[in-house]
Amino acid sequence: MQAVSIEVKNVVKRYKHIVALADLSFTVSKGEIFGFIGPDGAGKTTLFRILTTVLLADSGEALVEGLDVVRDYKKIRKLVGYMPGRFSLYMDLTVEENLTFYATIFGSDIKQNYHLIKDIYSQIERFKDRRAGQLSGGMKQKLALSCALIHKPSVLFLDEPTTGVDAVSRMEFWEMLRRLRESGITIVVSTPYMDEAGLCDRIALIQNGHIMKIDKPEGIISNYPHRLYSVKTDDIYRLLTDLKEYPGAGSVQAFGQSAHLAFTEDLPDRSHLSAYLEQRGHRHIGIEKTEPNIEDCFIDLMVTPGVDG
Amino acid sequence: MRTVLYIIQKEFIQVFRNRMMVPIIFVVPLVQLIILVHAATFEMKNIRMAVIDLDMSGSSRKMISKFEGSPFYVIAQSTFSCQEAEKAMKKGDVDIILQIPRGFEKQLIRNEKSKVQLVIDAINGATAGLINAYSMMIILDFNRETLVDLVQPQMIANVKSINTNVNFWYNPKLNYKTYMVPGILVLLVTIISLLLSGMNIVREKEIGTIEQINVTPIRKIEFVAGKLIPFWILAMLELAFGLILGKILFNIPIIGSIWLIFLSASVFLMVILGFGLLVSTVTNTQQQAMLVSFFFMVIFILMSGLFTSIESMPDWAQMLDKLNPLAYFIRIMRMVMLKGSSFHDIRLPFYSLLVYALISISLAVRRYRKIS
């Protein structure tokens, strides 16, 4: 068992009558990339704000690097780096001024920890005299990450860092995170994108303030209880409704150009489904058995809630 | 300490990088001084008068010519009809009606009391009061002269006339510009410092930077100091700039110590900056902050004694004005600039401001929270 970086026990947070976090418990090991995967409004930001000591939980206990988020908030603030979901640097300051500002308020300077951000910052360094507001989305994100790293944090909280960033920059960003992990930083990241889940060491699927499951991405996929088929025809919209009416069908989800259809048991006879669809006027029918991905698992867990604390 | 210095530096970079800021800081005071000082004057010129002379005697003509000869009055209408004069006043063509009754001179000669009637358009109470005062002075003057004319020389000694001798101290020429400039300077630094500080932290909330700042180990007091000091410096520069303009453009006297002015200003600015900070901690958007600041600013300014004298306000308003930092500072400015008052003379308003500053800053620091 690796050393523990973050420990959360029974944390509850309510906003008036809305429950944002319902009795959350989990641990994050040192040096892992831990992902919170869930839709908007699942409670990810609330959790991050509690862990970064800017929001008080109603009850429960949370420790970051062995420090209590309420009692030792001053110490925690020196240890953590936080990148809020919204770009929150000064648009009217240049790239370099932003970085200097964050280094200074941590009582540090750029030179001291330059090695940490070198990989990332070198990509935007030629724009260092440009104002942050004039950077592209991907570059803004790199700057924000540099600012969150400049004081050499032990734990990095990234709240939806890739939202609103193009696909190429997203992949680049994840590569950067994996490199950062090698320097021993614990990274807690949240994302609404299911395809990013596979890039984390462990993930927690979160929905309505509940953690539905915590596991390695492979573990979550291998625990998927159903048989999954990818069905394709020439009319994807009608296909979805027709599949739902097929006897014995579990969940039906649109997935790109095809539909994912779940069955509790192996489909005994594919031709029966094929004939059913033909009868309903579909053509170019293709049915294939497929491996589930995180999104399938997430949807399955949403349908049967309360599987895991 | 290094942190505070860097925040101050950062604020200055941001202020001067904002393209609107430099004109706001340097052009606005110039324009406001020129416009306000000329426009917000109480000096009465060209008071339009309608004359109803029913006596048509030497004395009545003498009185009219006295009005005509004063620099303040213009005879806009001469008539025998009251209705006509009233109609003119209703239309706004005349400000005052002077009616001299039949037999005015005869009664004067008989040494009886004689009466004239003045009707003043009092829609603007302050103006009406002034017109009244000016008219009284002219009539008083007329009285004195006729007394000398009509009464036998040997009897003069027996006439117990009250000799009113009016001296205007500290502003001998009754120059309203001299009176207005110190007040308008106060207005200027108030607007600049209240709006800038009120907007500032709210702006960080709006663009989301406060979120990241709150997670850093920066101390509350460091952050607040880093926010207030730049605007304190800017407002002091603004005041210096305004004083220089006032001297060049209006040649306003600065009789008292210039250091006393800046010392009082530095305390006054702490009140206003603390207030602005307080506003920005309780609001969430710049728009809200702007509206709240304006609400207080309008009350503070209207009750500051800049345009209307505090002494003529109702008692409750005078009590309320004890909470108005502008009233204190305008008083100090006028006393020091025009009267040359020493610290001892202004100690009461000065200490009031000091207490106010402590309250407003500590309240603001307390209200600003990093944890929600």
Residues B218 and B346 occupy one common structural domain: yes
Question: How many structural domains is chain B composed of?
Answer: 2
Whole-angstrom distance, CA of residue B17 vs CA of residue A220 = 51
Q: Could you say which of B105, B133, B158 is where a domain stops? A: B158
Whether the ipTM is more than 0.90: the answer is no
Largest CA distance in chain B: 95
Instruction: Give the SS3 label for residue A204.
Output: strand
Q: A63-107: per-residue pLDDT in tens?
A: 999 999 889 988 999 899 999 888 888 988 999 999 999 998 888
Residues A201 and A271 occupy one common structural domain: no
Burial per residue of B215-246, b for 16 or more beta-carbon CB atoms within 10 angstroms, e otherwise: bbbbeeebbbbbbbbbbbebbbebbebbbebb
Closest alpha carbon to B283 in B267, B299, B270, B294: B294
Q: Among partner residues A52, A88, A92, which is closest to B17 by beta-carbon distance?
A: A92
Residues A54 and A154 occupy one common structural domain: yes
Which residue type is seen at B277? L
CATH number at residue B104: 3.40.1710.10
Distances (CA, A) of B363 to B139, B274, B276, B297: 57, 8, 11, 19
pLDDT at residue B30 above 80? yes
Residue A219 C-alpha from the chain's centroid: 17
Residue A233, by phi and psi: left (phi above 0), alpha (psi -120 to 50) or beta? beta
Give domain status of residue A300, yes or no.
no
Residues B36 and B53 occupy one common structural domain: no
Residues A286 and A137 occupy one common structural domain: no
> In the A/B pair of chains, how many CB contacts fall below 8 A?
75
Residues A205 and A230 occupy one common structural domain: no
CA distance A20 to chain B (A): 15
Residues A125 and A39 occupy one common structural domain: yes
Question: Do B212 and A100 lie within an 8 Å CB cutoff?
Answer: no
Residues A118 and A21 occupy one common structural domain: yes
CA angle B291/B292/B293 to nearest 5° reads 90
Instruction: Read off the pLDDT band of B63 (50, 70, 90).
Output: confident
Specify whether the CB–CB gap between B98 and B118 falls below 8 A: yes
Instruction: Read off the pLDDT band of A62 (50, 70, 90).
Output: very high
pLDDT at residue B160 above 60? no
Residues B29 and B59 occupy one common structural domain: no
Question: Do A54 and B213 lie within an 8 Å CB cutoff?
Answer: no
Which of B205, B212, B223 is the best substitution to test chain A (most A C-beta atoms within 10 A)?
Answer: B212
Residues B363 and B254 occupy one common structural domain: yes
CA distance B2 to chain A (A): 8
How much of chain B exceeds pLDDT 70, in percent? 89
- Arithmetic mean of pLDDT, A108-130: 87
- Arithmetic mean of pLDDT, B311-331: 86
H helices of chain A, where? 44-51, 73-79, 95-105, 114-121, 137-149, 167-182, 217-222, 236-244, 270-279, 294-303
- Which chain B residues are Cβ-neighbours of A84 within 8 angstroms? 208, 211-212
Domain that holds residue A255: 225-291
Q: Among partner residues B7, B213, B215, which is closest to A80 by beta-carbon distance?
A: B215
Which of A50, A101, A106 is the best substitution to test chain B (most B C-beta atoms within 10 A)?
Answer: A101
Q: Specify the pLDDT at position A188.
A: 95
Give domain status of residue B163, yes or no.
no
Residues B294 and B237 occupy one common structural domain: yes
Residues A166 and A17 occupy one common structural domain: yes
Domain that holds residue B115: 47-158
Give domain status of residue B166, yes or no.
no
Which tokens belong to A96? 């370099």
Give domain status of residue B111, yes or no.
yes
Residues A187 and A239 occupy one common structural domain: no
Whole-angstrom distance, CA of residue B123 vs CA of residue B95 = 10
CA distance B285 to chain A (A): 16
Closest alpha carbon to B205 in A138, A95, A84: A84
- Arithmetic mean of pLDDT, B29-52: 79
Distances (CA, A) of B106 to A127, B55, B78, B161: 96, 9, 22, 21
Question: How many structural domains is chain A composed of?
Answer: 2
Give domain status of residue A195, yes or no.
yes
The A-side interface with B (CB below 8 A) comprises: 49, 52-56, 73-74, 77-78, 80, 82-84, 86-93, 97, 100-102, 104-107, 147-148
Give domain status of residue B86, yes or no.
yes
Residues A215 and A232 occupy one common structural domain: no
Give domain status of residue B81, yes or no.
yes
DSSP assignment of A148-180 equals HHTT--SEEEEESTTTT--HHHHHHHHHHHHHH
